[in-house]
Amino acid sequence: MAAAFFFSVALLLAAAAVVSGSPATLTLERAFPSNHGVELSQLRARDMLRHRRMLQSSNGVVDFPVQGTFDPFQVGLYFTKVQLGTPPVEFYVQIDTGSDVLWVGCSSCNGCPQTSGLQIQLNFFDPTRSSTSSSISCSDQRCNGGIQTSDASCSSQNNQCSYTFQYGDGSGTSGYYVSDMMHLDTIFQGAVTTNSSAPVVFGCSNQQTGDLTKSDRAVDGIFGFGQQSMSVISQLSSQGIAPRVFSHCLKGDSSGGGILVLGEIVEPNIVYTPLVASQPHYNLNLQSISVNGQALQIDSSVFATSNTGGTIVDSGTTLAYLAEQAYDPFVNAITAAIPQSVRSVVSKGNQCYLITSSVTDIFPQVSLNFAGGASMALTPQDYLIQQSSIGGAAVWCIGFQKIQGQGVTILGDLVLKDKIIVYDLAGQRIGWANYDCSLSVNVSATTGTGRSEFVNAGEIGGSTSLRDGLKLTKTGFLAFFMHIMLICCFVYL
């Protein structure tokens, strides 16, 4: 995906999976610029490109450390290091909650970059060099599952399960599926011990086009965290290795960091709301928005899920987006709630304010109210972005954006940071709680005996930084966003 300069904070994620009934930890980072000189239009351009394609454990935890540096003027990216094949080969893969498939570049890839500006060593998967690799045929039930969700296709010529993913910026990748071992470094009481492994089906990319061929922000592939059968979460769950739930807690301060675990973060203040059924994304039923405790006069049908509307939780989106009919009432309510002494300005279509004191003391609390009585409390920093400064005054702008002509609401990192977010796929619900993500958390994993065991996560792995990189999601899977972005291409701040 094409990059755009943007402002936000560096986010370092530690992830955990569960191996043999115990949680496993993936350590990853997301890089965001630390300066305030990038305009909202550039942040929004980055998000548009994305929308186009749109633990106490008896067996230990598994750590996937991530390395690198971050460039404050590039688009941020979560990626981690996975080990595939026998003997294991390391691959840097982007973490993507908006797609299902784990895929990496193949040794026969045409158009794959050979080097990366992210200061990482790119590798290529060669099935012939792995003693545990096997191809996936069209008759394989795992391929059939992928065909049903448009994650796979089959050719009668070679009986090989394959895929073709197209991206809204004109880039794309195609290849075939293989089954091989994913290797996990098991940790007991903070010490790395023996390796464990699990068989997974993943894509072997032999063709890449467009921005995927560029080396400045190249990674080895994409690690999809979606709900469908071909996602690693679903595969490990079906084998009884991991629970069908994952969680994250993203730090919102300038130091970045956070946690991403395969398992359920357990905290007493988490509230849950049901996922909207039969949706490829993480859709929620948003019912109303309150400002200073007063519900805005917005018909709840504005937020209803449809082909061109609905509320989606997407940790890959930098800002946040409101359905068109909800945007103006929201901005007007914010402006009306602040003191008249605060100067309001409009910068390229964005409502901004000149602030000489703390935004917490000036701006109102906002609440997003969901089905089941679950409310998400937003502080001013959850809906405002500091843009720059003028004459000693800080310029804070509404971080929520409007998608012209569309009823989609997207809760991106602006909203999700400094919160525990739990994606309970087994229970078909999402939960959250405000939280200091620099602290460790308790993660629950249900073992094969049916008992829930716990491990304290958040202190495993290092705290390294990475350089920014591209963020792509398969548009075949995100066709909903394709339609949105065809319209958004004509919208300017």
* Helix residue spans in 385-477 (DSSP H): 413-416
Alpha-carbon span 404 to 394, nearest angstrom? 28
Closest by CA to 177, choosing from 131, 125, 214, 242, is 125
The CA-atom distances, in angstroms, between 382 and each of 283, 352, 378 are 20, 15, 5
Beta carbons of 342 and 354 less than 8 angstroms apart: yes
Determine the 3-state secondary structure of 322 from DSSP.
Answer: strand
> C-alpha dihedral over 387, 388, 390, 392, to 10 degrees?
110
Q: Are strands 286-291 and 294-295 parallel, antiparallel or unpaired?
A: antiparallel
Exposed/middle/buried for residue 330 (C-beta within 10 Å: 0-12, 13-18, 19+): buried
* Number of alpha carbons in the 13 Å side-chain half-sphere of residue 175: 31
Q: What does the block give as tokens for 454? A: 């716990």
How big is the CA angle at 101 (ends 110 and 126), to the nearest 5 degrees? 40
Is residue 361 flagged as an active site residue?
no
Beta carbons of 326 and 320 less than 8 angstroms apart: no
The backbone torsions φ and ψ at residue 48, rounded to the nearest 5 degrees and listed phi first, read -60, -40
The angle, 0 to 180 degrees and rounded to 10, between the axes of the packed helices 479-488 and 40-53 is: 140
- Catalytic: which of 151, 314, 413, 468? 314
Alpha-carbon span 20 to 368, nearest angstrom? 38
Q: What does the block give as tokens for 97? A: 């909650």
Alpha-carbon span 212 to 66, nearest angstrom? 21
Omega before residue 65 within 30° of 0, cis: no
Is residue 314 flagged as an active site residue?
yes
Beta carbons of 143 and 101 less than 8 angstroms apart: no
Alpha-carbon span 102 to 232, nearest angstrom? 7
DSSP secondary structure letter of residue 306:
B
Q: What does the block give as tokens for 357? A: 């004191």
Beta carbons of 127 and 178 less than 8 angstroms apart: yes
- How many Å from the N-terminal Cα to the C-terminal Cα in the chain? 21
Closest by CA to 403, choosing from 476, 480, 346, is 480
- Catalytic: which of 96, 100, 169, 211? 96
Alpha-carbon span 147 to 145, nearest angstrom? 5
Determine the 3-state secondary structure of 471 from DSSP.
Answer: coil
**Annotated active-site positions, please?**
96, 314
